[in-house]
Structure 1
């Protein structure tokens, strides 16, 4: 992409043309040239504001997803600290893959480097703009969390039941809808879920002869869990996603 022209480049030819035209048309030509130059200057000075408005518009378009991803990638550790590392990586990924290409295509590429922290701040604000629709507090214990997740699946049209058995083979919930059987392992954690949960739900999928398998958590997932889930076709979900979950066979 060609570098944006500087304001000096944009003003050069209007000033030259105005000066030449004034030799024939006098002050009227100079006045017209002055108006043109003033318009160019004002338009250039307003780029910063237009840049911010464009970033806000792009971030707001994805505010719901950003809010969800922020909750998925944030957790509180055993010491009461809010750990944002995963969310900060996700925020940067969104800005680089979604916002940056649009800004460059629309001629704002030269402003991005100097205003990158401003871009990230706007994305952060968009992620906090939508408050999750939770009518009840998240259950504190594992069994209550399983029932909570099953209720969310029921609300989405699934026939869901908790297994309530020691021999569940890694499935806390078995749900069916439109001929698709789903096994779910629920993890109410204070830290990201590891790949052990993925291994267990893969075993549960075979044991229950299920079409799909998912691990649901309030606290996000480790990179190892994400890698294994991708290789074994296991869904990794935040519980907020259950209400919109639709039946789909693997493959």
Structure 2
């Protein structure tokens, strides 16, 4: 992390040089040094505002993606509570991987620890600043209908997608092909995050269907265990919103 000089560091040389120069050139030199010191103080006092503006600019640049990720990583439980655990992890990930490195590179590293909560608040505000199109209310609650819904979204993206028979699907609800690439998908319309059992099943389905890629699609996010297993087995974890833009 780049070290940012303190205000005392910045003032030391103007005052020292100005004091020495005043011995030779009189009070005018000391006045110039004082003016330089004043400019440095004012610049330093405005640093917090510049820090906030920089964070806002970074978050604003990604606000559409943040808004979408907030929706994808949140869900309402059977009791009507909005569960934001997945979004809070995503928000911290964005702050740590996108915002903080830029702040450090621009000389604000010394402010990060004390203002981390402020960074998160700014990211949160950016995620809420975008009015997304209404979430597709056509997404059915019935499991079989949800599988067909996911297949339709893949077809819109140019895939030749079909649902499998409930019996003998070996963990694949949808099989899709495009440009010689085969994708197997397990679809979970849940009221809670999907666990790693779904990941295990779609890994088996990838082998059974001789597919190139595997994905689990849900409306409700994924547990930490599911994410860990998916990363280890190269399985995509997706909200159904992401299906039209899927790339493999």
Both structures adopt the same fold (TM-score exceeding 0.5): yes
Aligned ranges 1:1-251 → 2 under 5 Å: 1=1, 3-134=3-134, 136-137=136-137, 138-246=139-247, 248=248
Structure 2 unpaired stretches of 5+: none
1:99–1:135 Cα change, 3 Å: closer
Task: Tell me how far apart the structure 1 counterparts of residues 20 and 230 of structure 2 sit (CA, whole Å).
Answer: 70
Runs of 4+ in structure 1 displaced over 6 angstroms?
Answer: none
Task: Tell me how far apart the structure 2 counterparts of residues 111 and 202 of structure 1 sit (CA, whole Å).
Answer: 44
Task: Tell me how far apart the structure 1 counterparts of residues 121 and 2 of structure 2 sit (CA, whole Å).
Answer: 28
CA deviation map 1:121-174 (0-9, x unaligned): 011122223343457313332233222222221121111122354332322212
Quick check: 2:2–2:107 contact (8 Å CA) kept in 1? no
Aligned length: 247
1:2–1:65 Cα change, 3 Å: closer
Report the aligned-residue RMSD.
2.1
Which moved further from structure 2: 55-64 or 81-90? 55-64
Quick check: 2:2–2:109 contact (8 Å CA) kept in 1? no
CA deviation map 1:3-27 (0-9, x unaligned): 4322122122212322332233334
Q: TM-score, normalised by structure 1?
A: 0.88
Structure 1 unpaired stretches of 5+: none
